[in-house]
Amino acid sequence: MMAPRRFVVLDRDGTVILERNYLSDPEQVELLPGAAGALRQLRRMGLGLVLMTNQSAIGRGFFTEQRLGDIHQRLTQLLAAEGVRLDGIYYCPHTPEEGCHCRKPQPGLVEQAARELGFDPRASVVIGDKPCDLELGRQVGATTVLVHTGYGAQMAPRCQGIADYVVDDLAAAVPVIRRWHRPARLTPAATDVVVLCGGRGTRLGALSLKTPKPLLPIGGKPFLLHRLLRLKAEGFTRIILVAHHLADQFEAFVRDAVEGGISGLELIVEPAPLGTGGALRYAAERVRSSTFVALNGDSWFPQPLAAVLREHEGARRRFTAVVVPASQVQGGAFNKGTWEVGLDGAVKGFATSQLASAGWVNAGMYVIDRALACAWPSAPYSLEDNFTRLLAGKTSGVFCSKVPLLDIGTPQCYVLAEQLLGASEHMIALEHVQDAAPRS
């Protein structure tokens, strides 16, 4: 399936056209120097172009929406004469006092355009000359660019920390956007995977006394084998298993898997139980790629990882946690814990809970910068419980999925896994996976 088309969200006054206070005359519409040429280049790159503008003059009674339509018709004509077509023009007619959802920096206009034009706001660029434009971009998870035209130069101090890039004008933004738009370098084939298999599985009682939880049979095969085959089908070529409890059984499993045709498989054994954080720190020394995927070896979660890698790279993060709504956790959300997520998608903390019945539940799948993990302490500890300390000051966020998550960590869930995954037909049926779902 082709990736959705990417879009550039443009402010109007001071970004594309000359700034005129409460512009009300179509004859006064004037393109900024170089703006048409810049938009033409963006079009040639295959990007969509959508313009969004606050027009409180309508709410204040200065002119009508019909008059605004005339202004935008004039703008469209000027751009057409330069060989440029916009995919849409969206405006908010309300005054600030009305507290609407569509006035920038509120995300209403972007949400409407995304629905109608079919693009992911998080995979877009927002360009403008005022803080409200950049704050809008931050709210929807987009890349933000401040131009020095219009009010941009005088607003630059107020835009520190919310502008990803600062450029002279729209033409100067083109090279920045070209670099941003390059094909992703973070692909499954170039990314190592670390699968955590060291837990004792105590909640399974006698089931895991003699067999490690990831190696329990599902449909006559070790559960972990189903997981590895899924990773191989997605294009991952190097997978590192981290084990401790009954490690000799993992050694036998790896021998059998390699003989069965699963290449690029490596086993490392923790010297002592290290917890999720300590195990990832231990494994990071064996990782060869600059970024790696980490996941639990006892969960069936068929979220396509290519989509997670794209978002992680596009947002320039060093850590991404995949989360799911509690309603998507099969068999109940036991011991999952929930991520505390800000409006901009940034991770703010993690709350451990015996029963996570609401919110975004931890899916046990992460994308991590290798250098970041190598800087963590070499000691036993939980990644989730020590999140604030481990990721302080680092760019982190979540990927929101609505793919069902099944952890085989309890007898009830193990029985459910056998029912759902026991036959290959059932496994395929469960894999009607969706891409990232926007947060509500």
Active site residue 248: no
**306 vs 196, 241, 369, CA distance in Å?**
20, 20, 16
Beta bridge partners, 300, equal 406
Dihedral class, residue 227 (left if φ above 0, else alpha if ψ from -120 to 50, else beta): alpha
Residue 192: name the closest of 85, 279, 309 by CA.
Answer: 309
User: Alpha helices, DSSP H only, in 2-142?
Assistant: 35-44, 56-59, 65-81, 108-117, 131-140
Helix (H) or strand (E) holding 270: none
For CA atoms 304, 308, 311, 313, the dihedral sign is: negative
E-assigned strand segments in 187-232: 192-196, 217-218, 221-222
Q: What single-letter DSSP state applies at residue 65?
A: H
Please give the structure tokens belonging to residue 68: 């605004």
Angle between helix 35-44 and 170-180 (nearest 10): 20
| HSE, side-chain direction, 13 A CA sphere, residue 222 | 21
Rounded CA-CA distance 259/185 in Å is: 31
Alpha-carbon distance of 45 to 383, in angstroms, equals 41
Question: Nearest to residue 214, comparing CAs of 174, 257, 175, 181?
Answer: 257
In order of 225, 379, 403, the CA distances from 219 in angstroms are 11, 37, 22
CB distance 436 to 311 below 8 Å:
yes
Listed residue (231, 196, 194, 201) closest to 216, CA to CA? 201
Half-sphere exposure in the Cβ direction for 47 (13 Å, CA) = 25
Asked if 410 and 373 touch (Cβ cutoff 8 Å), the reply is: no
- Is 13 one of the catalytic residues? yes
Both tokens assigned to 58: 């309508």
8: phi then psi, degrees, rounded to nearest 5? -110, 125
* From 13, 169, 192, 407, active-site residue: 13
Beta bridge partners of 360: 325
Catalytic residue numbers read 11, 13
